[in-house]
A and B are shown apart, each in its own frame.
Chain A
Amino acid sequence: DTEVTQTPKHLVMGMTNKKSLKCEQHMGHRAMYWYKQKAKKPPELMFVYSYEKLSINESVPSRFSPECPNSSLLNLHLHALQPEDSALYLCASSHDRAEAFFGQGTRLTVV
């Protein structure tokens, strides 16, 4: 089983809203990732959690706030987003330094 589950699949939010993206895996992976992908561009790394601690923050604006409540869950809290933040948000997980498996993504539209 190489399943990473992301919810919701689609999200439309206003610029004053607060919302959260959720990601879950039960593969025992201890590294979890958030990527952002714009159309016709490669995935762009945002955050990495390793053993439930934030290990990489790629200078992401503070309106994006990650959280790793336990080894199976990863959240991305969104607040005061801009229309240019509209993108596909991808969660991935891996064993430490190994191949990463992606969830199906959340298609986010900011209006």
Chain B
Amino acid sequence: QKEVEQNSGPLSVPEGAIASLNCTYSDRGSQSFFWYRQYSGKSPELIMFIYSNGDKEDGRFTAQLNKASQYVSLLIRDSQPSDSATYLCAVRRGGNKLTFGTGTQLKVEL
């Protein structure tokens, strides 16, 4: 079982819709969770981080964490073509080891 799993996609959504990206993790000791956006040929850019169960909102982005289900998600409201990228889920157990999922490719269509 992979430590961090994501559906590779592509996930296609129309412009203006809500994009829902999901991530599961295997280690129940995981403590902090991150979403990065990566455009082709560029480096990962931090979008959101969440440490506690529940929702965390920042602008058009909402991160959701459910530690009992070992599940973290990212919602993008009012999706724009500029949101088209690969979204990487990353998990930190404790210490400084940050492990990435394989990423989900999001395509926002006009």
Tell me the A residues contacting B by CB distance below 8 Å. Answer: 2, 31, 33, 41-45, 48, 50, 55-56, 88, 90, 92, 94, 96-105
Tell me the B residues contacting A by CB distance below 8 Å. Answer: 31-32, 34, 36, 42-46, 49, 88, 90, 92, 94-103
Residues of A with C-beta under 8 A to B90: 100
Shortest C-beta distance, B95 to chain A (Å), equals 7
| CB–CB A42/B96 < 8 A | no
| CB–CB B46/A42 < 8 A | no
Residue B96 contacts which of A2, A96, A101 (CB distance < 8 angstroms)?
Answer: A96
| CB–CB A41/B102 < 8 A | yes
Shortest C-beta distance, A93 to chain B (Å), equals 10
Given A97-B32, A99-B34, also A45-B44 (CB < 8 A): no
| CB–CB B43/A100 < 8 A | no
- In this complex, what residue of B is CB-closest to A48? B96
| CB–CB B95/A55 < 8 A | yes
Residues of A with C-beta under 8 A to B46: 2, 99-102
| CB–CB A99/B45 < 8 A | no
| CB–CB A50/B96 < 8 A | yes
User: Complex formed: what's the CA distance from A2 to B49 in Å?
Assistant: 15
User: Complex formed: what's the CA distance from A103 to B46 in Å?
Assistant: 11
- In this complex, what residue of B is CB-closest to A32? B96
- In this complex, what residue of A is CB-closest to B49? A99
8 nearest A-B residue pairs (beta carbon): A42-B100, A102-B43, A99-B49, A105-B43, A31-B96, A48-B96, A102-B44, A104-B43
Given A97-B92, A99-B34, A99-B49, also A45-B97 (CB < 8 A): yes
